[in-house]
Amino acid sequence: VLFRDAPARAVVDVRGGAPCTRETDALAGASTLGLVHAIVLSGGSVFGLDAASEVTHVLASNGIGVHIADCSSLMPIVASACIFDALVKYPAPAARSDGLGEIRALQSSPWRSLGARAAFDAIKSTRPQRAPPSSSSIGV
């Protein structure tokens, strides 16, 4: 997860015949926003996109995102790309055919914890840590 406290300008160059991406159109030159709050790079082929979903939820719950029109919710812009590693033996993806909604699917996804941990660590690492004052400090 690449994350900053403020939205960042970013661009993308998507190549290949079967790209596994999310929100990369938001990075196109003609895009209304052209900004992202986080970029998620993952494995897991198409199922790795679940990591970006969890990053989005974590950012929104931490007050990070944009207000769009009259929507009361914050909308984090999280671009994501996954590598093709479908031939690697990952856990089977969660079944989504019972119609119980996206929350249940996110809760049962094998990549959910990866996305949550990565988002939490990214947010934590960008918050400045205050060092205790010492007589040898030179204002750093």
CB atoms under 10 Å from CB of 94, counted, come to 16
Q: Which residues of 54-77 are buried (b: 16+ CB within 10 A; e: fewer)?
A: bbbbbbbeeebbeeeeeeeebbbb
Cα–Cα dist 43/12, whole Å = 18
Cα–Cα dist 98/105, whole Å = 10
The model's pLDDT over 46-67, given as tens digits with 9 standing for 90+, comes to 778 888 888 888 888 888 888 8
Cα–Cα dist 94/140, whole Å = 48
Q: How far is CA 79 from each of CA 12, 33, 43, 92, 140, rounded to the nearest angstrom?
A: 9, 12, 14, 24, 34
Q: How far is CA 87 from each of CA 3, 6, 26, 45, 91, rounded to the nearest angstrom?
A: 29, 37, 30, 9, 12
**Per-residue tokens: 7:** 């939205």
Q: What is the pLDDT of residue 26?
A: 80
At residue 98 the predicted structure's pLDDT band, cuts being 50, 70 and 90, is: very low
At residue 101 the predicted structure's pLDDT band, cuts being 50, 70 and 90, is: very low
All structural domains of the chain with their residue ranges: 2-122
At residue 94 the predicted structure's pLDDT band, cuts being 50, 70 and 90, is: low
* Percent of all residues in the chain with a pLDDT value above 70, rounded to a whole number: 61
